Copies of this chain bind each other. A is one copy, B any other.
């Protein structure tokens, strides 16, 4: 294993200390274990809070989106492991300004169980919460089982849109409804070329053949839908885009945002080669792209590969997507 780390057991604590050292003017932690990250300033009075949670190893997801215009807090787990219900509960208590808190997170067993426990406890104390689960990964389950799909990079669009809605001082129900409406129009699929290494394991816990491509692999190495020989970029882009548009048809004349997300080890150049093809194919179909996002948004440490997300827009979603945001890992200064 060649990783730029110290003791594997200190991996999460140490990168959190690095993030706090770099961005301590904008974010802070609430606990000595540094597992609850919130904005330095409390949310505006009356604003609905928005929080998320999840395992580590996916930067900028999840905690990188805590900041102005997006999230109010994130509970941070160990690598690929959910944070505890207690951390979620403490975070929500802190974030709540009396108008309730939206829990917006990926559909993973541990996170769901812990958020449910946390919200139940909060309910006793009269703190209102709503839970909206991100299930954008079309490769994780067939369409008939869409409700059991995992959440991947599409969650970044959901954070953005919900954050903008909350900043307009909408109610908890309205913010939750906005997030649900966004997610109904977001689909993602990824593919991996190499595995990643969990620091405590010290070696890859799954493998991908030397010349293979795993279509649909999850961000923790969950098996995909097909292992095949490595293909040219355009072919990969076509397979993924067809799958997304088959699951969520987009008509000629409509607008989408597209996210080409690197999983960690893939050069930026290659992400733009993918984007080129996706853009071209959409253009042929009469679909235009608004505010493309190309870069690393939700990674799996040193996994090589990428995911493609399509977000079908309407005027409301465009407005929320465009609105200014400023977090340590996401900046948008549109007027």
Residues of chain A having any CB pair with chain B under 8 Å:
2-7, 11, 14-19, 21-22, 56-57, 59-60, 193-194, 210-211, 213, 230, 232-234, 236, 264-276, 279-280, 289, 292, 294, 296, 299, 301-302, 304, 306, 326, 331-333
Contacts and interface: CB of A to CB of B under 8 A. Distances in A.
17 contacts: A4-B193, A5-B233, A7-B232, A14-B272, A15-B269, A16-B272, A17-B276, A18-B271, A18-B275, A21-B292, A22-B275, A57-B269, A59-B267, A59-B272, A265-B304, A267-B299, A268-B296
A136 B174 CA distance: 52
Nearest to A199: B269
A279 to B, nearest CB: 4
Nearest to A280: B21
Contact of A18 (B6, B60, B274, B326): B274
B22 A273 contact: no
B6 A233 contact: yes
Contacts of A3: 267, 270
Contact of A4 (B18, B211, B236): B236
A275 B273 CA distance: 31
Given A17-B276, A193-B4, A268 B299 contact: yes
A273 B4 contact: yes
Contacts of A213: 2
Contacts of A59: 267-269, 272
Contact of A267 (B193, B271, B273, B301): B301
B5 A232 contact: yes
Contact of A273 (B15, B210, B294, B302): B15
A19 B272 contact: yes
A2 B268 contact: no
B22 A279 contact: yes
Contacts of A194: 2
Most chain B beta carbons < 10 A, residue from A14, A18, A268, A276: A18
